[in-house]
Structure formats: C-alpha cells, structure tokens
Structure 1
Amino acid sequence: MTPNRERNLNRTTMMGMVVGSMVGAGIFSLPATFGAATGPFGALVAWTIAGTGMLMLAFVFQFLAMRKPDLDAGIFTYAREGFGNYVGFLAAIGFWTGGCLGSTTYFVLIKSTLGAAIPAFGQGNTIPAVAVSSLVLWTIHFMILRGVKEAAVINRLVTLAKVIPILTFIIILTVAFQKDLFAANFWGGEQRDLGHVTAQVRRTMLVTVFVFIGVEGASVFSRYARNRSDVGWATVMGFLGVLCLMVLVTLLPYGVMMRPELAGLRQPSMAGVLAAVVGTWGAVFISVGLIVSVLGAYLAWTLLCAEALYSASRYELVPRVFSHENKNGVPSTALWLTNGLVQTFLVLTIFAEYAFELTLEMTSAMTLIPYLLVAAYGLKLTLSGESYSHDPPRLRQRETVFAAIGTLYAIFMIMAGGLEYVMLACILLAPATLLFVYARRERYETTFTVPEVLLFGAIALGALAGIYSLATGTTVL
C-alpha cells in the first residue's frame, strides 16, 4: 500500500484476495486425497459439513466487519477484543504460523509436480527441491518489498489466470463423465453402513479446512477497503465461488476413474486425472496451472502473514519492531520474519517422510485456532446484545445462529483432526509466547492475568506432551 494509507481496494480486488488466498495447492490435490479416503457419498457429506461450517464463519466475518469497523486488522483483533491480550496474541500467532506452514506446502507441491520430470526433486522435500524453493521464496520476498499495492495487483491477475485450468478440467471431466463408474464408486467400498462412512469422512476433515483457508483474506486487509461493506461481500462471494470449484473437482473424477486408481495418483492428482482422459498434454496443462496457482497463492499468503504480524504489533501484542515499514509502506520487518520462518519449515521438510501431508494438516490445525476464536467472539457479541440496540430481534437471532454453528464447527474440526495436532500446535505456540512477554515488558505492562497464566500453563504442558510423543515415536512426522 501507499504510505499514506489510502483506502483504495474495491470489492473486486478484495474478492480476488479471498479467491487468491483459497485457491492454491489444496484444490489440485483433491482427487487423490479424497480417493484415498472415501467415495462420492462420503465426499458429499464432508463438503456439506465443511461448506456449512465455513459459510457460517464467512457470515461471522461479514457481520463483524459491519458491527466492529474499528477492529480493522482482521482475524486476531476479534479474539483480543473478546477474550484479552494473550488470547488475541495466540490468534495472531496461530494465523501467522499456519500461513507460513501453508506457504511451505505450496513449495513442496510445486517441486513434487516438477519431480515427475526431474527425479532429483522427488516428492518435493529433497535438498535440490528445497534449494530451488528457497530461490523462489527470496525472489518474491524482494518483489514484495517494492510495494504491497503492486503485489496485490499481480495477485488479481494471477487469480484470473489460475482459474482457467481448473475450469478447463471441470468442463473436460463433465463431458467424459460416466454415470455407471460414478455409481460403482459411490459408497467408497463394499460396506455401506453409517459407521464406515463416518470413518471415511473423518479422514477428509483437515483437508477441507486447508482448502478453505484464506476466507479471511478480505478481513485482514479491511483497513484498506474503499467501503467497509465490501469486506463482507468479498468474503461471502469469494467463498461461494471457491466452494463450487472444490466440490466439482472432488466429485467429477469419480466418474472417469475407479477409486483405487484415484488413490494411487501422484500429487498433484488433478494432472493424473486429466491425463487419463485426454493424454499427456492434460498433465502438462494442469501442472503449469498449478505452478501459476501456487505462486499466486504464495504471494497472497505472504501478504496476509506479514500484514497479520504488522497489525499485531500495532495492537501491542508483539514487539514494536514488527510495525516498522520501509519507504514503500511495506511492513518489512514482519516480512523478513515471515519468510525466515517459511525458510526454516522448508529445511525441516527434508526430514519429514510425508512432507506435503504433514504441512497440510498442521496448517489446518494452526488456523483452526483463530477461526474458533473469531466465531466465539461473534457468539459472545450476539448473546450480549452489544451493537444490536437499533436492530430487529430477528437479525440478532440469525447472526447468533451463524456464530453458534461456526463455533461448533471449529471445535468439531479440531477434535476430528486428532490430539496429536493439538500437541504439535502447542510446540509452536509455547516458545512463540516469548514474543508476547517481550512486547508486554517493552511497554511496562503486566504480562499475564491469572486466567492467562493458566492458559499458558496448559499450552506448555501440551508442548511437553507433544515433544515426548515425537521422541518416543507415538507421533511420526
């Protein structure tokens, strides 16, 4: 942005930020990921749960943008306003760390894609793959330092470009779709009982969260919105458009390939599906589209992460140094730390057996924390009646339902993901708390309230349990 903080993002550009943030690596991995877990029926159940839950969260973001226009830094400010400084810090760090993990996932998938032609890249987590990823990372880093506004314009163009191969995939598979094949795949196996389907659906839950991450894109940049109402509109419309793409990309492959074949595809599995229908050029076409898509998503997420850390400093949750801006109005210190963490995660993928799956699921687990806190704040607001004195009761009741479902959905997803991801999240959050402690002392303020001490104690215990689990092999990376 410009240094004078112009409010110059219109609703189209903000919707582009939402779509650009959401459409990245995840959508290209859906056919094999769902094929390994379930059939069309389980996929429909999973998308119904995820679509409903995330739509409710989108509605929460929409009404909070209108009711709390002064909270203009997005996702963590609602947690801070509703539950105090330390909870706000956890939301900010959870969002920021999840974004950095997501960016790592993008690089792993790009190199896995190229690994089909360049064996040295393997599954995206070899030393040559990490070296090339690092080069791309720092090239984009210095481009962003030239100005966030210019990067946002590039993101809008890339968003348009990367939707084209996805739409082409959908059109070709619609033409090639075989109803009998879809019916044979429908139940995902011989068993047709509810317990079997429930187990299938659970295996897809963190994946559905991952592909929807970015729905808060417009909210994070709300301080730059030309009109405040555009934030909510961009969030909901961007979400609905992406949901349609996700469902079609998941279901249509069941009409052209058997489920075991889908499960065995190399990532990005969209390339393998299209190649099975039209030949080798289909794999090349999707692979090129993926690289464009993922680079665009990485750009969008780098902006989101740097902005989140910068804004957290403005709200006195992390040290002042992260509010520093360069001559182009870019939060440069926050950007350096963001890409430094991504670089660290990239190096760590060398030692992870299933790098893509691990970073995907950890991204989801970390991001669910701020999502839960936003929904809970929306619920607290509606139940207290704050800001509803001049509104009809029916409106307040409707928004209470949105927030309640969003809260329950986030809790359910955290539980469905499994305790091991909660412990891994604690391993990241516990040492990160040092930033909060330093920020409080920097301003000569009391570090923790009594409830915050208890919360930190629980996180520390979770971190110790996570470290023990990793050391004893109970949790395998």
Structure 2
Amino acid sequence: MKAMKKDELTGNVNGISLPSLIAMVITSAIGAGIFALTSDLAVGASPGPALIAWGIVGFGILMLALSLNNLVLERPELEGIFAYAQEGFGDYAGFISGWGYWLSTWLGNVAFATVMMSAIGYFVPAFKSGQSVIAIICASIVSWGLTWFVSRGVENAAFLNAIITICKLIPLFTFIVIALLLFKSQIFTAHFWNNVSGNFNGGKGVGEQIKNCMMVMMWVFVGVEGAVNLSSRAKRKSDAGKATIIGLLCLILIYVLASILPYGYMSRTELMNLDQPAMVYIFKDMVGTWGGAFISIGLIISLFGSWISWTMLPAETMRLMADEGLLPKFFAKENKHKAPIVALVVTAGLVQIFLISLLFMESAYNFAYSLCTAAIVISYIFVGAYQMKFAWRKRQNGQVLIGFLALAFQCVGIYLAGLQYVLLCFIAYIPGIWFFVKARKEEHHDRALFPYEWILTALISLGAVIGIMLLLMNKISV
C-alpha cells in the first residue's frame, strides 16, 4: 500500500460529516427492496420463521459492520472496502474484491431503474412493467442526469443525499405507525409458523422457510458499507465506522417493523398475492386510494436517493483501485470538481447497456439484484477474512471471533445467493483481469501475473465458461 501522510489519516476538514455518512448508509441500503419486502417474505415464510431469519441476518450483518468499524479505526490509512483484501492477501485479491464491489454497485442501479419506472407506472400505466421502451428511455435520462450531477462534486451529492434520506423515511415511518395502529394479534398469531396449508408449503419446515427468506434479506442490506467506501472524503476517518454501526441498527429496526407488521393486518395468502411493490398496495388497503400514491411517491424518492449513492460508490471504487495500481491510471482521472469523471462515464455507459438489455429480459429486477448480491458477498468475505488475520496478529481474540462470524455468515450467503449468479459474475471478471494486467504493466512489474494468480484466473475463466454454457442451455433464466 502507498504511504500516507499523517493528516490524511484523520480525513478531510471540508469533507462529509457524520450525519451525512449515516444518511449514506441508510439511503444506500434502503432502496427498492423494503417496498417489496413483505410480499417476498410471505412467499417464503410465515411470521415466526421470518423473525428468526431477521435475527440471523441482522446478527451476520452486524458482525460485518463491527469488522468494518474495527478496521477503519485500526487501519485508517486503508481506503475503500477492497483495500482490506489487498492489504491482507495481495494485489490480486484486492482486485477481485474491488471489481466485485464495483460490479455490485452499478448492477444495483439497474435494479433501482426497473422499480422506479414501475413506481411511476402507478400514475402512468405505460411505465408499469418497468421494462417498456418509454421506461428504458426515461431511466437512461435519469442515469445520465445523476452522473452529471455527481460529476459536479461528490461532497455536494452526499449533502443532497442526506436531505433525501429524511424525505424517504417519512412515508416509511407513516406506514409503520399506521400498521401498528391496525395490527391485529389474532391474525399475526393464528398460524405463526405456517399461515398457509401444508400443500402450499410443500411440507417445508421452519428451517426451509428461514432459508427462503435470507436471500431477499441480504439484498436489502447491500450498501451498508457505503460510509466506509467514502471514508477518504470524510471529515474524520473514525466517523465512517460510527456511521456504519448507527446506520445498521436503524436499518434493522426499520426493516423488521416494515416487513413483519403487515402479517398482523393481512393473512400470508393475501400478502403473497399482492402486486409489487407490495407496500404500495398494503397501504392503499389500509387508508384508501391516496395511500398508494403516497407510498409510490416515497418509493420514487427512495430510489432517487439510492441511485445518487450508487452513482458515487462505483466511480469512487474505480478511482481508489486505480490509485492503488489495481486498475489503469486513467480511471483515476478527476475533473475540476475533484469527481472521478472517467470512472463515472464508464460506469454510466455500462448501466446504459444493461438498461437496453432489459427489453429482452423477463424478470429484470430479480436478476439484477441477485447478481448484485452475489458480487458484493465476495467483497464482504474478504472483509471478514482480513478482520480475522489482522486481529489474530494483534492477539485480539474478541475481534478474531467477530471476523470469523462475519466470514462464516457471508460464505453461507454466497451459497444462498445462488452459485449460478456467481458464475455469471465471473464472466464480468474477464475484462477486469485484462485491465488488472494493464495496470501491472504501468507499475513496471516483472510479471503480468504470478503463478498462483494464473491458477485463479484459470478457475475464474472456467467458471465464466460454465456460466455461458448454462445460459445457452437455458439453465439460468434472465
């Protein structure tokens, strides 16, 4: 890792404040998922198993957040989530982590685009599918507009993001309050472990129901590391770790209440048969027609805020990777506003290509968020592994345990995310490896790849080939 000046370790006096960083965590994670959460959970589980799943996922993500907090405090000179993989396991591991994180963040924008257009479809039917020609055109305009806005300065975008966080939480809190007032314990507890007949569940027990919940629950926490990834632009580096913990605790409370309370208003059968996004139609049933419009507007604001965050994060990741020699230097080029302009434009271009491809996909939102989750879990695994390694060297047994639990949870998560999506991510790693080799040449390394790196590249390439074959054989649907 390159040497850092002492004043760089404390952050940036004119940088992003703690409240803005907390807002970054919350708004990066709260996007489309929470508005569809109850119906998605109802398909997989009754309220009892869903609550257990929340406990497991909340604990696992908390271990990740505690690991990030410890590493930010102990190694403040490391910038970007990929830096932990690079420092602990070498440049190639840093590239694998960083490229996976970059893939995840811009793929998340594709998921946001799909749901935002569907939310607009509540008012304008032509947008309802989220994948019509007019919807793709409008999504493209929004994508490039946000790219231009972020190019005017990342700190300014973070400030606006904090304001949007407040606006997006108002409809969520309103929904939670009304759901509490209308909550009926007899509906909630009538079939606490199994709200639907055994024929529907296919004989699935509590364990299977818990597993069914975990994928969608992990998706809604993607982005919780947003403050850490922007730690180099924070007023104080330590604020990034604080923001991650505070933001996560807020998220867990909001998610549990918003997803579980509706089980006490409608039966599981009713919840699972709702149109998406489910919260729109639940609130419409609760308070009348205006409720659907109110939540739809909140959803659009929510997605807009997340889209701003996730426009910043992939570009910032590419810039930091280029600074560390993991990508060619031109990706680090900044404009007069100190925004990574090349990374912003490249990322926006890829989002555009993927948006066009949505015209030919059946389940664009599910596909995009599944790829997004699979890609980011790779980065999270490296965080847990480095937390263990670093704490072990310092003989901090408690921190070793935290790292182990974070690592174990993410390894289970990559299985639950679906290994087929990991294979599809490997396809996207192939051009990334070419850029990594090009960066190595710029750094005047004697070798493009070391022997163990060639072996890993061969395995990634094999996985990519298998992924392509499964696509051609229609074993993976898009």
TM-score range, shorter chain: over 0.9
Map 1:57-456 to 2 at 5 A. Answer: 57-71=64-78, 73-188=79-194, 189-191=196-198, 196-385=205-394, 396-445=396-445, 446-456=447-457
Amino acid at match of 1:291: I
- Cα distance change on mapping 1:354 and 1:185 into 2, 3 Å: farther
- The one-letter amino acid of 1:101's match is L
Residue 281 (structure 1) shift: 0.8
Amino acid at match of 1:248: L
Report how far residue 351 of structure 1 moved: 1.4
What's the CA shift for 1:193? Answer: 11
Instruction: Give the secondary structure class of the aligned counterpart of 2:205.
Output: helix
Deviation, 1:311, is 0.4
CA deviations over 1:30-88 (Å, ceiling 9, x no partner) = 011111111111211211111000000000000000111110x2200001111111111
Query: How far does the alpha carbon of each residue in 1:8-37 deviate from its partner, in whole angstroms, 9 at most, with x for none?
Result: 322212111111211111111101111111
Query: For residues 90-139 of structure 1, what are the alpha-carbon distances to aligned partners after superposition, in whole Å with 9 as ceiling and x for unaligned?
Result: 11111111001111111100111222333322321121111110011111
Number of the residue aligned with 1:466: 467
C-alpha separation in 1, matches of 2:151 and 2:434: 27
Please, which moves more after superposition, 306-315 or 260-269? 260-269
Query: What residue is the counterpart of 2:37 in the other structure?
Result: 30
Structure 1 position 210, deviation (Å): 1.2
Q: Is the 8 A contact 1:317 1:440 kept in 2?
A: yes
Q: Could you list the runs of 5+ residues in structure 1 that have no partner in the other structure?
A: 389-395
Q: Is the 8 A contact 1:109 1:267 kept in 2?
A: no
Moved more, 439-448 or 167-176: 439-448
**How far apart are the structure 2 equivalents of 1:224 and 1:93?**
21
Structure 1 runs, 4 residues or longer, greater than 6 Å off: none
Question: What is the CA distance between 1:432 and its match in structure 2?
Answer: 2.1
Q: Is 2:12–2:234's contact at 8 Å kept on the other side of the alignment? A: no
CA-CA distance at 1:444 after TM superposition? 2.3
TM-score of the superposed pair, with normalisation by structure 1: 0.94
Partner of 1:203: helix, strand, or coil? helix
- Where 1:350 maps in the other structure, the secondary structure is helix
Q: Deviations over 1:359-398 (max 9, x none)?
A: 111111111010011111111111222xx6xxxxxxx121
Letter in 2 for 1:129: A
Question: 2:180 and 2:443 mapped to 1: Cα distance?
Answer: 60
Separation in 2 of the partners of 1:239 and 1:364? 17
Structure 2 unaligned runs (5+)?
1-10
User: Over the residues paired in the alignment, what is the CA RMSD in angstroms?
Assistant: 1.6
**Letter matched to residue 203 of structure 1:** N
Greater CA deviation, 446-455 or 153-162?
Answer: 446-455
Q: Is the 8 A contact 2:57 2:218 kept in 1?
A: yes
Q: Distance in 1 between matches of 2:382 and 2:55?
A: 22
Whole-angstrom CA distance in 2 between matches of 1:11 and 1:120: 41
Q: Secondary structure at the match of 1:214?
A: coil
CA contact (8 A) 1:38 1:200 kept: yes
| 1:228-277 deviation line (CA, Å, top 9, x unaligned) | 32121111000000110001111011111111221122221111111111
Per the alignment, residue 40 of structure 1 pairs with: 47
Alignment partner, residue 392 of structure 1: none
SS in 1 for 2:276: coil
Using the alignment, how far apart are the partners of 1:53 and 1:321 within structure 2? 37
Go from structure 1 to structure 2 and tell me whether the alpha carbon gap of 1:27 and 1:193 turns closer, same or farther (over 3 Å shift).
same
> SS at 1:420's partner residue?
helix
Q: Any conservation in 2 of the 1:185–1:254 contact (CA below 8 Å)?
A: no
| Residue identity matched to 2:60 | G
Identity of aligned residues (%): 36
Query: How far apart, in 2, do the equivalents of 1:230 and 1:317 lie?
Result: 26
Give the aligned partner of residue 18 of structure 1: 25
Cα distance in 1 for partners of 2:81, 2:373 equals 15
User: Paired residue for 2:3?
Assistant: none
Note the C-alpha offset of 1:357.
1.0
Partner of 2:7: none
Q: Secondary structure at the match of 1:204?
A: helix
Distance of 2:136 and 2:190 partners within structure 1? 41
Give the partner amino acid of 2:83.
T
Report the more deviating stretch, 192-201 or 36-45.
Answer: 192-201
Give the letter for the 2:57 counterpart.
A
Query: TM-score under structure 2 normalisation?
Result: 0.94
* Contact 2:146/2:311 (8 A) holds in 1: no
Aligned in 2, Cα 1:141/1:295: closer, same or farther, shift over 3 Å?
Answer: same
Aligned residue pairs total: 464
Distance in 1 between the 2:427 and 2:211 partners?
A: 24
Alpha-carbon distance in 1 for matches of 2:14, 2:94: 25
- Determine if contact 1:34/1:204 at 8 Å carries over to the other structure: yes
Q: Is the 8 A contact 2:384 2:404 kept in 1?
A: yes
> How far, CA to CA, are the matches of 1:162 and 1:368 in structure 2?
26
Distance in 2 (alpha carbons) for counterparts of 1:301 and 1:48: 27
Amino acid across the alignment from 1:13: S
